[in-house]
């Protein structure tokens, strides 16, 4: 197949091979938020040969985004939506990837339409309320979800899957409203966005062990990493009857 040379090195990974590459090429990954997490995640998924990326973000790049949102450059500030800025670069990076863009606020009303056909959705958001909308959609549509969150020099990642793991309402029983804007170091967002891309590739190809019911916590200030179990919340209104 044309263009397979691009993927030769990842196809050498045990268990990935030609079959895994075909699965990636036939997959759709939704990315909710094309900022500090979504930029590296989209870049590495495009590099891996995902067939179709669905990007959703209502914002336009701001100069204060540029320390971490690496798909947006100086020329994009105030000039076009983040999804258009990202799509332009991703298409030039790997022309074989189809990119669908939604420059809209994703809500409980439109989420099923925005992420129609997605095999995996990445939570690249920066506040809790839209994350819960995404978590509910993931359960309703049985779409695996890769959550990540970063602040300062810390971050976390986990995988949510209907019937197999607790959901984001279990993880965030009380939605704390964080102060805005919050501190964030660019490379920290980069690392956690890359972890999301890797989890998505693992879910699609079946390679490795995804972070189902496990929360990977990273403290990049002190280089402390640990994986803890995520427990279902008692009487969770969303995933209670697992």
Nearest approach, Cβ of 173 to Zn ion (angstroms)? 9
Question: What residue is closest to Zn ion based on CB?
Answer: 236
Calpha distance 215→210 (Å, rounded): 10
Which range touches Zn ion (CB under 5 A), out of 25-33, 177-185, 223-231, 234-242? 234-242
Nearest approach, Cβ of 152 to Zn ion (angstroms)? 27
Nearest to 146 by CA among 25, 44, 64: 44
Range list of H helices, the chain: 8-11, 17-25, 38-48, 82-93, 111-114, 128-141, 168-171, 186-205
Query: Residue 238, interface with Zn ion (CB under 5 A)?
Result: yes
Scan for tokens 């009857």, then name that residue. 241
Question: What percentage of the chain's residues is helix, strand, coil (to nearest 5)?
Answer: 35, 20, 45
Q: Which of residues 142-171 bind Zn ion (CB under 5 A)?
A: 166-167, 169-170
Calpha distance 200→184 (Å, rounded): 24
Nearest approach, Cβ of 171 to Zn ion (angstroms)? 8
Nearest approach, Cβ of 107 to Zn ion (angstroms)? 20
Nearest approach, Cβ of 234 to Zn ion (angstroms)? 10
Which range touches Zn ion (CB under 5 A), out of 51-59, 77-85, 93-101, 229-237? 229-237
213 has which bridge partners?
none
CB of 206 or CB of 240, closer to Zn ion: 240
The footprint of Zn ion (CB under 5 A) covers 166-167, 169-170, 236, 238-239
């Amino acid at each position: 197949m044309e263009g397979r040379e691009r993927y030769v090195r990842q196809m050498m990974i045990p268990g990935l091979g030609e079959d895994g590459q075909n699965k990636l090429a036939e997959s759709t990954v939704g990315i909710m938020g094309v900022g500090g997490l979504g930029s590296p995640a989209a870049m590495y998924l495009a590099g891996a040969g995902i067939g179709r990326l669905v990007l959703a973000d209502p914002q336009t790049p701001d100069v204060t985004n540029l320390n971490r949102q690496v798909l947006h450059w100086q020329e994009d500030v105030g000039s076009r939506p983040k999804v258009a800025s990202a799509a332009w670069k991703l298409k030039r990076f790997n022309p074989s990837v189809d990119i669908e863009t939604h420059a809209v606020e994703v809500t409980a009303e439109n989420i099923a339409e925005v992420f129609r056909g997605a095999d995996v959705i990445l939570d690249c958001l920066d506040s809790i309320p839209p994350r819960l909308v995404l978590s509910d959609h993931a359960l309703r549509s049985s779409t695996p979800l890769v959550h990540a969150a970063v602040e300062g020099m810390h971050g976390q990642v986990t995988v949510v899957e209907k019937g197999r793991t607790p959901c984001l309402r279990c993880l965030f029983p009380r939605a704390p409203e964080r102060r805005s804007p919050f501190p964030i170091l660019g490379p920290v967002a980069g690392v956690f966005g890359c972890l999301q891309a890797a989890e998505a590739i693992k879910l699609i190809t079946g390679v490795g062990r995804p972070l189902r019911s496990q929360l990977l916590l990273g403290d990049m200030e002190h280089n402390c990493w640990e994986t803890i179990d995520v427990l279902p919340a008692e009487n969770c209104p969303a995933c209670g009857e697992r």
